Amino acid sequence: MEVRAFVKRLHPEATLPIYAHGSQEDAGLDLTYCGTEALVLPAGTRVMCPTGIAIQLPPGFEGQIRPKSGLALNRGLTVLNAPGTVDPGYRGEIAVLLINLSNEQQKIVPGDRIAQLVVSQYAELRLEEVQKLDESERNSGGFGSSGI
């Protein structure tokens, strides 16, 4: 399925999101850090990384900001609020909240790929208040209920 969205560069040096291996191979578009200087993250710290772009998604679609597996594996950097949500009504700059979970300082330079954007369709949920919910096999079993 192809979905049309509009993207705007907010800074001339911003890199537009791209599929690293094409849309037939990748679900996510790479997002890059757009800044004027390197960001240094000491171990255990977090930083908001601007991308220099804004996007207009159609109604019924959301953008999910997800970590890049290579950054997580090789450098201990991940998206803190993964997945972050870009709502269809949001028109501001997309920013990525990265956290350094490694034991070493990490540096992010302008143009580094920092996250990926996956677009998903969602359903509008219309809630109806009731006095009782149907029983299920699981019922209220939550954290740890599967035995793990």
Instruction: Report the predicted TM-score, pTM, of the whole model to 2 decimal places.
Output: 0.89
Residue 144 has pLDDT above 80, yes or no: no
Residue 67 has pLDDT above 90, yes or no: yes
Residue 6 has pLDDT above 70, yes or no: yes
pLDDT of residue 139: 81
Mean pLDDT of 137-141: 80
Residue 94 has pLDDT above 90, yes or no: yes
Residue 22 has pLDDT above 90, yes or no: no
Per-residue model confidence as pLDDT tens digits over 111-134: 999 999 999 999 999 999 999 999
> Could you tell me which residue, 57 or 140, shows the higher pLDDT?
57
Residue 42 has pLDDT above 90, yes or no: yes
**Cβ neighbour number for residue 144 with a 10 Å cutoff:** 7
Beta carbons within 8 Å of 105's beta carbon, 6+ residues apart = 40, 41, 42, 43
- Annotation: CATH topology of 6-121: Deoxyuridine 5'-Triphosphate Nucleotidohydrolase; Chain A (2.70.40)
26-51 exposure pattern, b = at least 16 Cβ within 10 A, e = fewer: eebbbbbbbbeeebebeeeeebebbb
Residue 147 has pLDDT above 80, yes or no: no
CA-closest candidate to residue 31, choices 98, 94, 100: 94
